[in-house]
Structure 1
């Protein structure tokens, strides 16, 4: 008997575990409806809460309800218990059970609205323009009161007989017959302003709805890592730039210390050689005429020796015969001419050398100018180019700017991560134990005419 009781007790505990166990899946969906006054202040705020229970068996759902007042249940087969700061629901589920209730809310909203009207460019109260003709700008200023990102969708529709939309570029516009649907969205980070510009012969304020969803902004940080890598790589670029500067400065120093210079003697060498060449040719020509001059002298000595017994004239004739023979056999004139020709060749080579040296010096100067341009910047073929020194300065400025951007990027990444953690199962009214949550806000500005 005792054994049977123990078995029955175990079965009861198992069944109880199935009824209230973790096999049930619960979703908590909160929608907060806010009715706005003409200036954006809150007139009324209500909660419509949909709780979905999936599974089999009995359930108990408990919600944090410290911001709830006067809840009304709209689901059959569910019991509600509102005690203290807890709102509890009991029932039985077969696959899916939907729980709907409505309640008033006594919690401050996470968003603040301020609505301003400009009639023909002047700030006005609706009473001053309703029913009149002209231009109307409805300016909506939205500011978050909590560190939670929201995507705000502004939507309205009106008849094309009533209004002309003056700023269609700021919205997505759909025209269905005479009905004009206008939709725009923004992220109030840190705040936002949306303007609806209308024209009418009989002005009114159309129904406008603002849907606010807790949502991360569409920020693409995929390039963040590449930006960081590029920033870190700038050090390498700077070192490479500095190394190139060092090399160029070394080359320029070498050119300045070892710049070839042409001695003054070398500059005048071609002219000196030309002078010696002319002298050599002059001597050569004179030597060619010398035998004729000497022959006249020889004939004179010969006649004196033959017509006289003077031994001196005979000795002079013998000497003259030796000289005559020497002069006739001598090639000194041609030798000197060859020397002149050699000097001429040397003069030609020296002039060529001077031309080559001038060209080389000009090339070296051009090379030095080019190196200076590469180093300090300048103009090449009409184009102004920065030098490595300027590039280094610009790179350092760019690095400082990038450092600020990287710092801001890291702050942004941290902020997005923080928001992501806050948005996990975010609830406005209160959590449901063991449930995933979704929250949306509807702000309504009712038509005024």
Structure 2
């Protein structure tokens, strides 16, 4: 599990680092371009996360086929995944092309809206490549071979700095594009990564038995697409629910003023980085569980699932303790402003134990996906994250009933409700996982 998780972790951190590099470099160009970048990224991420979530259906599907040693069927599944990625790209590109419609809700100035629109339309050109690479990543992860994915992602990160510098600030005869220069660099790197990834699949012997290339043209199959969408759409919706819950939380906190939202942003950024560890363990656990299911090793699948959940939660407890004792040093690495530090410090109480709930829910959700179960978990996400998390946060944060203690008013109220909602998600998913495992055991007993 650890051998699968660490390359996934480094790859995820490389993706986050791309965003950090964009923000840091554009901030040295102009405040207007930085604002356009922030606005554009918030829209693009919502689109990309939802669409790439749909493609997550490939990982358990291929994992089960690999566990069953049905290698001939994997190539066909990958081709159907590429057709699905193409369809999703077309949908995403249409959404990004009509980005001015969404920007009107932000009440952005004409100049800001123009720059954000340009950023999003350039990013639309990168979307087919990023989704095509997601198919490659799902294939490799399902086959327990994530190191090559990590190597390509880290190489792309190294290319990001020089390309950003050239396209943001100008040089070698090119004009200074500012914020949209990030999108151009992202698009170029995305297509390079896609080309390298599928060139490796075409040339490396370890993929040859899958017959992805050389097996002839395969048309889209409605049955295969329906099966992928049946699992993928709920997964994409669950990702969308998670992203929007955090986005709307930030919007509500912004009503309290610049200082509370600055403290929230620092806390949320730290939480996002820490989340990469349980996410990587969850993905590795899901792969091994799917392979065991494919091999009809139901007891082993159950054992692996619970081992992954325990590992993820155990590490999260250790990380929470470290974060709590290092909280002042972590916050000071973001800002020297004592007012913002004072706003962020109380929120790190929630970060310390929030990780435990987050690791429980994400690992359990991924184990359920290995069993190809995603509809009920998505309903649980919607009810708890939107209802308890956002609704409860609004009531606590704004003291709607006049009963909220002073220490929970404002941003702490939102974080308390969000933490409670994740705890409920984790508990609900665990109960449902036990139901799914019992059902799988009955089916296996009937088949035998």
Which category describes the TM-score, using the shorter chain as reference length?
A: under 0.3
* Max Rg structure: 1
Q: Which has the higher strand share?
A: 1
Structure holding more helix per residue: 2
What TM-score comes out, normalization by structure 1 length?
Answer: 0.22
Could you state the TM-score of these two structures normalised by the residue count of structure 2?
Answer: 0.22
